[in-house]
Amino acid sequence: MAKNLVIVESPAKAKTIKKFLGSGYEVVASQGHVRDLPKSQMGIDIEHDYEPKYITIRGKGELLASLRKEVKKADRIYLATDPDREGEAISWHLIAALGLNDEKNKDKQISRITFNEITKNAVKEAIRHPREIDMNLVDAQQARRVLDRMVGYRISPLLWAKVKRGLSAGRVQSVALRMIGDREDEINSFIPEEYWSIDADFDVKGEKKPVTAHYYGSADRAEAGKEKRTDLHTQAEVDAVTADLAGASYAVSDVRRSERSKKPPLPFTTSTMQQEASKALNFSTQKTMRIAQQLYEGVDIAGRGTIGLITYLRTDSTRISEEAAAAAREYLGRKYGEEFVETVPAEKKQTGAVHIQDAHEAIRPTDITLTPEMVKAQLPRDQYRLYQLVWRRFAASRMAPAKYETTQVRIAGEGKTKSHVFTVSASHVKFQGFLTVYTDEEDEGLNAGMTGGIDERSVLTLRAFHPQQHFTQPVPHYTEASLVRALEEQGIGRPSTYAPTITTILARHYVVKEDKNLYMTELGTVVNNMMKEAFPTIVDTRFTANLEALLDGVAEGKVNWKTVIENFYPDLDEAVKKAEKELSEVKVADEETDVICENCGRHMVIKYGPHGKFLACPGFPECRNTKPYFEKTGVACPKCGKDIVVRRTRKGRTYYGCMGNPECDFMVWQKPSKIKCPRCGGLMLEKGRKLVCWNEKCGYVEDMPAADEG
């Protein structure tokens, strides 16, 4: 029997596939890439058509020698690396590294195979349909790798020279950092605006519980029936409404009942899986991808052996194969009833979809009959929770919409001068549909509100008003989930880049994560400002999205990859040379302070570390004494009168706190101003180009004075 050799990427996958194919096949692993650009240099021949210089990755020599021995024994070699651009490139590199195109191997059959799931049927079907290497996909990967190398190896040394060693810039990472910085600027410059709401409790004759309605608006009697929503901005406006309604009678003016449908969610893509795992399971993007990889490569399930539980995890497609859809319809119809099964597949209703990578399916269970409960005993807790999320999402996407009845009630009160309207609404689920297996926070609120047995004949009596003061809130800080969503929506990066991008900016201490939120550190702000000043195009979201579209064009065979590089590098080279001459250093000199080192008596100096400034003894390495550095703002603490200083959280985020901490707990995130509030004499905070009183109840706001006004 002819010897067949299958080369995959991971050893875990190799073991699983070997069991599927039997003794006629040898399955080995390349353990990822075997060739790459050298680490010691950029590795791109600028003078000769930007040709990459690939070398064997350090430590892969013995592995390649072992693979060559297996190649000698085989008559046919199947390259079965992952089914994406990166996997295509790995197969192409294997051909070169193993000499599969050499004269000595001319009689061997070399084929590329891919499978979207690691199951026996999928693997055997792939063996039956081999193909050639898709050079369009390889070139798309080469273009991305070369572009990323050019940005990293030209700009990173500049950051080392201007700031400190160990920093890095990246084509996608720097854009993500700018997005976080822009969001933080937007939050810091946000000016809260006061507004009020009025809730009213009504007793309904014949009902035990009162009904709570929300104030909607008013209308002059001359415009009866044309009431409009009234925004309440101050307590005085609230008092005017309640005073006008003093002694008023109330009646139900309208009751409207309607039926609405809620469509099932689409099956998971890489991005939506990362987002939902973050919200529902509190997983980081990196953790989500690591666990998903384990579920994809294979898990030992009692009675079924080792199988991959989910399909390939790097995809932005919501497509589902006909076989998987048919299996889901059969299973769900049998388990829940035919009325719960979809009539129109969820992905068919998707509109505006772009950037669908290759021909991948959405992420789904390889076998829907293998429920989470059936495999719970064989899976570690985190694997079980992620599999359950994927299984439920896929099952929901194949099910019928949920239907619920909504009731909207309008209550009219005749005031002394105007008619006033209050509204109350409620929703009641009539048909669970996909909610049987999958709900999110929005779905959990479908039954909110109570209207009881209220109708147009109901007799209402006002029990009490409940006015409440509110302040508008800024947009929230990015979380890993919302950043992934924003990157995807703006066309920046692709499924394989989201997790490593976020991991990198966290590892470089450009950003810290606290309570899921991402915050810029002082170091991140310095790097971001430098990138915006010197390389505005690199950190421009539209430019980066257009570049991603060009890479998609390369993958589709519509754009030559060298053309993309030729159009990109000269501008980068010019910008780097200009920045080297014109960009100011942001290095912090060893500024001497009046703080005395208690160990050796020297004046301590200011140093700059990954988390910002700190005090260090200049006698290093003989004296290694260090202390936190407190930068005074020149503003007194409103609680105890001591200095307010610049502080940093344990993870590096900047805030302003009292020098007397921990005895005094004063802290704010915005920079305190030396200008006192003219209304209450309190502390003012800088928010963008505004000064805002620290005392929320005061609410005073004014424009920040020009620089020459102090």
H or E element at residue 414: strand 402-414
Asked if the model's pLDDT at residue 710 lies above 70, the reply is: no
Looking at domain 143-189+476-582, its CATH class is mainly alpha
Q: Higher-confidence residue: 487 or 611?
A: 487
Mean pLDDT of the 322-340 span: 94
* 3-state DSSP assignment of residue 387: helix
Residue 613 has pLDDT above 70, yes or no: yes
Residue 600 CB coordination number (10 Å) = 13
pLDDT at 266 > cutoff 60: yes
> Encoding tokens for residue 253?
């003016």
Alpha helices in 421-497 (DSSP H): 480-489
Q: Please answer whether residues 288 and 382 qualify as being in contact, where contact means their C-beta atoms are separated by less than 8 angstroms.
A: no
312 is catalytic: yes
**Joined tokens for residue 688:** 């963008």
pTM: 0.83
- pLDDT tens digits, 96-148: 999 999 988 889 999 999 999 999 999 999 999 999 999 999 999 999 999 99
Q: Is the separation of the CB atoms in 120 and 20 below 8 Å?
A: yes
User: Which pLDDT score is estimated for 595?
Assistant: 86
- What is the per-residue pLDDT for 699? 83
Looking at domain 270-397, does it have CATH number 1.10.290.10? yes
Pairing of strands 25-29, 701-703: unpaired
**What tokens appear for 63 in the block?**
């592995």
Report whether pLDDT(591) > 90.
no
Separation between Cα atoms, residue 190 and residue 110, nearest integer Å: 61
Calculate the alpha carbon distances from 121 to 113, 114, 128, 367 in Å.
14, 13, 11, 11
Beta bridge partners of 469: 196
Domain boundaries along the sequence of the chain: 4-133, 143-189+476-582, 194-263+407-471, 270-397, 592-709
User: What secondary structure does DSSP assign to 133-188, as a single string?
Assistant: --HHHHHHHHHHHHHHHHHHHHHHHHHHHHT-TT----TTHHHHHHHHHHHHHHHH
Q: What band does 494 get if pLDDT is binned at 50, 70 and 90?
A: confident
Determine which one of 25, 50, 312, 656 is catalytic. Answer: 312
pLDDT digits (tens, 9 = 90+) for 412-462: 999 998 899 999 988 888 999 999 999 876 555 444 455 557 888 888 999
Supply the pLDDT for residue 370: 95
Query: How far, in Å, are 73, 125, 130, 132, 326 from residue 109 at the CA level?
Result: 13, 18, 10, 11, 36
Cα 696 to Cα 349, 421, 644: the distances in Å are 47, 30, 19
- Three-state SS at 293: helix
Report which of residues 318 and 442 the model is more confident about.
318
Fold classification of 194-263+407-471 is Topoisomerase I; domain 3 (2.70.20)
Q: How many other C-beta atoms can be found within 10 angstroms of the C-beta atom of residue 272?
A: 21
Let me know if domain 4-133 sits in CATH 1.10.260.40. no
Q: Is 368 exposed, middle or buried (0-12, 13-18, 19+ CB in 10 A)?
A: buried
CA–CA gap between residue 637 and residue 564 (Å, rounded)? 56
For residues 156 and 169, the answer to whether their CB atoms sit within 8 Å is: yes
- 38 Cβ contact list (under 8 Å, min separation 6): 53, 55
Q: What are the pLDDT digits (tens) for 206-264?
A: 888 889 999 999 876 555 556 678 999 999 999 999 999 999 999 999 999 899 999 99
- The per-residue pLDDT for 250 is 94
Give the confidence band of 2 by pLDDT, cuts at 50, 70, 90.
low
Residues shown for the chain: 710
The label of the residue with tokens 């020459």 reads 708
The beta-carbon contacts of 672-680 under 8 Å, at least 24 apart in sequence, are: 672/633, 672/635, 672/644, 673/635, 673/704, 674/634, 674/635, 675/705, 678/702
pLDDT at 334: 95
Strand ranges in 432-566 using DSSP code E only, listed in sequence order:
460-471, 511-514, 517-520
DSSP letter for each residue of 236-290: HHHHHHHHHTTT--EEEEEEEEEEEEEPPPPPB-HHHHHHHHHHHH---HHHHHH
Work out the angle at residue 223's Cα, subtended by the Cα atoms of residues 222 and 229, and round it to the nearest 5 degrees.
135
Beta-strand ranges (E) seen in 548-599 are 592-596
Q: Are 571 and 155 in contact (CB under 8 A)?
A: no
Strands, E, within 287-356: which ranges?
Answer: 299-301, 305-307
Structural contact between residues 704 and 691, judged by C-beta atoms closer than 8 angstroms? yes
The chain-wide mean pLDDT, for the chain, equals 89
pLDDT at 632: 86
The pLDDT value given to residue 689: 77
Share of the chain above pLDDT 90, in %: 72
Contact 573, 150 (CB under 8 A): no
Split at pLDDT 50, 70, 90, the class of 164 is: confident
> 76-79 and 25-29: which strand pairing?
unpaired
